[in-house]
Structures are given as structure tokens and as C-alpha cells.
Amino acid sequence: MNMPTNHTKLLLAGALFALAPALASHAQVAPAAAPAVSFTATGAVVSQYFLRGQRLNGAGFQPTVEMAAGNLTLGLWGNFVLDDKVPDSSDPELDLYGSYTFTLGKDLTLAPGFTAYFYPSAPTSAGFYRTTFEPNLALSYTVEGLKITPKIYYDMVIEGPTYELNLAYSVPLKGIGSELAFTGMVGTYKYDEFANDANPSVKAWGDYWLLGVSMPFQLDKNSKLTIGFAYTEGRNAFTKAGTLPKSPNSLALGRGVTTLAYTVSF
């Protein structure tokens, strides 16, 4: 699979961030009345914890609490290791995230957002960070049921961008009151300060992709059970310290991930 060139990446990033204020100014304005607030809580068990093609930990419990108020979303996500902990990894990991969605048209939205990552037990003496902060910008377009979302991230601490394209498509299963939700993802990243307080600086770069499918089962009006499976792989992933030769990133692997999640809304 051919990844975008650096020139193409910079053009995409510049175009999306430059257009964000103009696009948002033409978005449909919500009514002045205070939006209704809803909460969703999810408890998920995963066979492995992967992020951007890197295996960060083994089996884990991943709870999420999310609040939605109109176009605003705020949430807290966590990963607690259940088995096969990766050496020197943080247990737990806690992430605070948020986004605000602007409706630009019937099938087009723009959503600036952020994620603050917290690794309270990460060993800083081994080059790990305890916190990082990553703003992002997503543009979503839906055509014939296919949702297409290019997304740009920039981590302010490890100093580097991630470019990602997400696809989502659902096939109704009316006979059993469910659906097959297919997802696809391809991305690439490049970081300039991958290791904490390293001298010389450690760079990291790589590509990744994911294909997945999930099936939700509505248990009652406010709760559902979802089972899912995805295969993800990290490729062309390396680290490089100063003028030393590059080294393969040992966390970049190809594995299948099984998920079982229970969600309740209130």
C-alpha cells in the first residue's frame, strides 16, 4: 500500500487547518437553548491493546465514560492490564478527550478535538513520558452510507504529526435486529522527540493499517453488547537516535484483536 509523500502530507495538513475557521464560520448554528446532556458508559475487554500499529500491552479492561451536550463531546478512557503486560509500559493508561462538531452540510462535518494522555506509572528514567497532549482535526463526509474521515493529529510533547484515513460502513441485519459495522484505517506518523529527555533526540516513524468488523446486540432501550474483531499491523516502523543507524520498532506488529463491550446510556 503506497503511503502519502511528505509533500502531500504537508499540503493536506495545511489545507485542513487553514480551512477550519472558514468552514466553521459557515456551519449551521445550533439554537441558543441549552443542549440536552447525555452520558454513556462502556466497559470493554480486549485481547490486546494496539495503538497505531504498535502493541502497547496485552489483554486489558478498557472503560469509557462519555458526556455529550449538543455538538460537544467529552470523555475519559482507560486501559488496565489484565494479562501479558509489556515491560516498562504504564498500567493504567488514562486518556481525557474531547471534540466539537460543526455541521457544514447534510453529509459533511468538521470536528476539532484533543486527547490528553496520562501514563502515571511509566518509568521516565527509561525514556517514557508521563503525559502527552495531542490536538486533532477531523473532516467527515458520508456518501452512499460510507463515512470517510481524514484526520490529522499533532502531539505537542513528542513533537510530531499523525495522518490517518478512516472508513466506516454498516450492513443492517434486520432478521436479528443487529448490523455488521465494518471499519478500515490507514495511517502514518513521524515524531521528533520520541524518548523523554534523550540526548541526542530519538526520532520515530512508521505506517499502520487496520480492518475490523463488529456486531452490536441491543439488550434494552439503554444498553447493548458488542462483539468485534480487527486485524491491525504496524509497518516500516523505526527509531533513530542522533546519527546512529535506525532500528526496527519492536512494538510494531501484526495481530488480531478481539473485543467484547457492554454499553449503557443515561
**1 occurs within a structural domain:** no
Those residues with Cβ within 8 angstroms of residue 96's Cβ, 6 or more apart along the chain or in another chain: 74, 75, 76, 115, 116, 118
State how far the Cα of 55 lies from the Cα of 230, in Å rounded to an integer: 13
**63 occurs within a structural domain:** yes
Cα torsion 245, 196, 84, 216: sign? negative
Q: Which of 11-15, 126-130, 181-185, 241-245 has the lowest mean pLDDT?
A: 11-15
**12 occurs within a structural domain:** yes
Those residues with Cβ within 8 angstroms of residue 75's Cβ, 6 or more apart along the chain or in another chain: 64, 65, 66, 67, 96, 97, 98
pLDDT at 23 over 70: no
Q: What is the pLDDT of residue 35?
A: 74
Residue ranges making up the domain that contains 192? 6-19+38-265
Contact yes or no for 213/178 (Cβ under 8 A)? no
Contact yes or no for 150/139 (Cβ under 8 A)? yes
What is the overall mean pLDDT for the chain?
90
pLDDT at 29 over 70: no
Total domain count, the chain: 1
> What cell was used for 145?
452510507
**32 occurs within a structural domain:** no
Q: What is the mean pLDDT of residues 120-135?
A: 95
Q: What is the pLDDT of residue 34?
A: 65
Q: What is the mean pLDDT of residues 201-227?
A: 97
pLDDT at 201 over 80: yes
**155 occurs within a structural domain:** yes
> What cell was used for 83?
494479562
Nearest alpha-carbon partner for 208 in 52, 56, 9: 52
3-state secondary structure 142-165: EECCEEEEEEEEEECCCCEEEEEE
**198 occurs within a structural domain:** yes
Contact yes or no for 134/115 (Cβ under 8 A)? yes
Q: What is the pLDDT of residue 264?
A: 98
Cα→Cα distances 96→67, 104, 126, 229, Å: 12, 26, 24, 25
CATH (domain of 166)? 2.40.160.40
The torsion angles phi and psi of 32, rounded to 5 degrees, stand at: -70, -20
pLDDT at 167 over 90: yes
State how far the Cα of 175 lies from the Cα of 134, in Å rounded to an integer: 42
pLDDT at 3 over 60: no
**27 occurs within a structural domain:** no
Q: What is the pLDDT of residue 33?
A: 62
Contact yes or no for 102/73 (Cβ under 8 A)? no
- H or E element, residue 10: helix 6-25
pLDDT at 7 over 90: no
**28 occurs within a structural domain:** no
134 band by pLDDT with thresholds 50, 70 and 90? very high
The torsion angles phi and psi of 221, rounded to 5 degrees, stand at: -60, -35
8 band by pLDDT with thresholds 50, 70 and 90? very low
User: What does the pLDDT look like over 74-102, one tens digit per residue?
Assistant: 999 999 999 999 988 899 999 999 999 99
